[in-house]
Amino acid sequence: MSKYIPGNHKHLTAADRLYIERQLNAGSSFKDIARYLCKDPSTISKEIRAHRLSDFYPMLYDVYVPDSSGRRHHE
């Protein structure tokens, strides 16, 4: 059941983003999250795509090694 009444609620709030994070960690689908927040599932998908950490950390166990970064920049 949704906690929001549909209307002029255009932007996601910090509380919405926290809810999305918790529900994703719990295994909820975009559709379930969107239904609760009275948003389109594509809104949830776009929010996740825009704020995911994989853009910064492409591999889960990627480790910064100073020597390797220098070689990459000089090639």
- Alpha helix ranges (H) inside the chain: 14-26, 30-37, 41-51, 66-74
- Residues 6 or more apart in contact with residue 4 via CB below 8 angstroms: 37, 38
Nearest residue to 11 (alpha-carbon basis) of 39, 52, 45: 39
Q: pLDDT (tens digit, 0 to 9) for every residue of the chain, 75 residues total?
A: 556 555 556 788 888 988 988 898 899 999 999 999 999 999 998 888 877 765 455 554 444 344 443 444 444
Q: Cα separation of 16 and 70, whole Å? A: 41
Q: For position 9, what pLDDT does the model report? A: 66
